[in-house]
Amino acid sequence: MSDAPFEIGADGLDVGKIVAEIREEVAEKTRRGVYADARIARAERRNLVNIKDDEDFIDFYLECLRDAVFVDINDFEIHERRRAVGRLLKALKGLIWKVLKFYTYRLWSQQNQVNGLLLTAVESVDEKYGRKIRELEKRLAEASESKAGGGEGDGPKVGESKV
């Protein structure tokens, strides 16, 4: 039985070849800039199915949050596929973008501020509880060692006081 959440299979079907073709297509599209968002390419390289434990997942998730925390408020190239009225539509879209950018710039700025604060809060909580877990694991290991040693330093037993 496989660890994958699902399997593809049929007579005459070469799954390895299909996966290789998909990866080649993704690599080609990445080179052409279709996947301008780095998170898409990173997710392909670091398949979430391969992340086995919670710590790896949280680290990956926080890394993605750090990369995507701020909304890009810069101009972008407008693409128009319709040839007949392409230039006109591109000019109209550019004009609409300039008008909307004036009205939405403040919202974008506020959103970036909120996103940054939320990321900082999530990272702080992760760090705080990670530190607490490490401390508790250390104390547990020390308690297990002292109990295994059976020495006088065991401390009071349940119901007793150390006086």
Q: How far is CA 154 from CA 1, 89, 146, 157, in A?
A: 46, 80, 6, 8
| Domain range annotation of the chain | 13-60, 69-146
Question: What are 124-128's contacts with CB under 8 Å, separation 24+?
Answer: 126/58, 126/62
pLDDT per position as a tens digit, 2-35: 566 666 667 777 778 888 888 888 788 777 766 6
Residue with tokens 């591109």: 90
Q: Which residues of 103-121 are buried (b: 16+ CB within 10 A; e: fewer)?
A: eeeeeeeeeeeeeeeebee
Does residue 90 contact residue 78 with C-beta atoms inside 8 Å?
yes
In the predicted model, what is the mean pLDDT of residues 89-104? Answer: 86
Q: How far is Cα 44 from Cα 59, in angstroms, rounded to an integer?
A: 16
Q: How confident is the model at residue 84 (pLDDT cuts 50, 70, 90)?
A: confident
List all residues 6 or more positions away from 136 whose beta carbon is below 8 Å from its beta carbon: none
Q: Which residues of 54-74 are buried (b: 16+ CB within 10 A; e: fewer)?
A: eeeeeeeeeeeeeeeeeeeee
In the predicted model, what is the mean pLDDT of residues 137-147? Answer: 92
DSSP letter assigned to residue 71? -
pLDDT per position as a tens digit, 30-57: 777 666 565 555 665 555 555 566 677 7
